[in-house]
Amino acid sequence: MVTHYNELGQPVGFAVSEWMPPPRPGRTVLTGRYCRVEPLTPERHADDLYSAIQLDTQGTSWTYLPYGPFATAQAYRQWLGSNSQSEDPLFFALVDSTSDKALGVASYLRINPASGSIEVGHIHLSPLLQRRVMATEAMFLLMQNAFALGYRRYEWKCDALNAASRAAAQRLGLSYEGISRQATVYKGRNRDTAWYAATDNEWPILHEAFTRWLHPDNFDAQGRQRSRLRELTAPLLRQHDQADDPQAKE
């Protein structure tokens, strides 16, 4: 890393002279090969989403979210109705292009145009979307849109005990940045928060990795991947990840 100094000889951050604060993300449809990311609309998405999440019979997908599970379709629709109007978080439905059914949700949040930072969160994938190519593509589309708008920093935060979310962040090429201890309380329990992020200078190489992984040629006739995304993104992760992330030692 190059060190910059001011006129007093003190180390300072690098100059950001040409960058301009980006607009807030809009309620636009992001279209990929396998899925669409659509602004969340209860009238269009609630029934499909509730049917899909009911396949999680034990409710394990709700453990690390501050809400849910929902006992009835009406309760879930009410939750969707109130949150679909929010500007921050800004919620989207993740729609399977083949079936045209919504199978999960995600959002932008902590949207800070002045600093050029934006977070992805409230990610809830039904069993029909977990470990599927379209789930990865949905995360790619949201990241691509944020950097295309001009954001400098793309964040991912999760409960430090959520091993699946932590692994997903690094698979997607977001570097581990540390843990905020006792960051919040949810569902009556403490949460230490693990932080991950990617920056705009990393995005061109990340984009290339995603494009390569998502290409149909990367999958055989049975849908098995030839190259793993984690192998393509691992070289981009900051070197301190291996030293600082306890999961990297497991």
Query: How distant is the alpha carbon of residue 95 from its chain centre?
Result: 16
* DSSP symbols for 47-104: HHHHHHHTT-TT-GGGTTSSS---SSHHHHHHHHHHHTT-SSSEEEEEEETTT--EEE
91: which strand partners?
Answer: 107
Res. 55 pLDDT band, cuts 50 70 90: very high
What pLDDT does residue 222 have?
A: 83
pLDDT tens readout for residues 169-212: 999 999 999 999 999 999 999 999 999 999 999 999 999 999 99
pLDDT-based confidence at 249, cuts 50/70/90? very low
Taking domain 28-249, whether its CATH number is 1.10.1740.10 is answered by no
Quick one: CA torsion of 168, 174, 176, 178, rounded to 10 degrees? -100
Q: For the whole model, what pTM was predicted?
A: 0.92
Query: Is residue 63 over pLDDT 80?
Result: yes
Find all residues with CB under 8 Å of 234, minimum gap 6, and list them. 170
Residue 35 CB: number of other CB atoms within 10 A?
27
